[in-house]
Amino acid sequence: MTREIAITNRHPRLRLDRRAIAGAITLLDSHAAKFLGGCPPGELSLVFLTDSALAQIHADFMDDPTATDVITFEGDATAGLAGEVCVSADTAWKYVGLVEGRSPHRPRSARRPTLQAAFSAELTLYVVHGWLHLAGYDDLQPAKKRRMRAAEARAMKLLHAAKAMPSFRFL
């Protein structure tokens, strides 16, 4: 299945490769049978945002004003829309900085390539997470969350093996 993929970057410090992101989604789509049939057909929208912008969406649509990593909106099959995945680049950057034991707020010259690689993997995981939500996975109950985490691990392994991991840079 070939789908239209709309990628919007609304984060002033994020640099991304749209072609690589679309390639990762296309690869996931080609292995849909491994993931509950995959994301529904139709246009898929990916939006990369700041924490504050995603928190506002969280407040507006889910009555929760806190920051989050991913929000997924189901599409409308009759309109040819698979759905929309909104991700926070800030949350990924902060998470990676904490995991790596480094301050994510250091000047750019102090950031090592390994931090950028870990950031790319984390932000890719957020995209995968949203794609899996559209495929029918849920993570609100412990058993369903375990199933979601296993699917995430399979998807990330698939992307790594195919050398289809998108690269992101946080400036």
Which of 85, 43, 46 shows the shortest CA–CA distance to 68?
A: 85
Q: Which two tokens stand for residue 111?
A: 């950031």
Q: Is 133 annotated as a binding residue?
A: yes
Assign 23 to helix, strand or coil.
Answer: helix
Report phi then psi at 100, rounded to 5.
Answer: -80, -5
What's the CA gap between 64 and 87, in Å, rounded? 16
Q: How many angstroms separate the CA atoms of 63 and 166, rounded?
A: 32
CB 16 within 8 A of CB 170: no
Cβ burial, residue 88 (10 Å; 0-12/13-18/19+): buried
Q: Any known ligand binding at 129?
A: yes
- Reported as type and span, the H/E element at residue 5 is strand 5-9
The annotation places the binding site for Zn(2+) at 129, 133, 139
The annotation places the binding site at 129, 133, 139
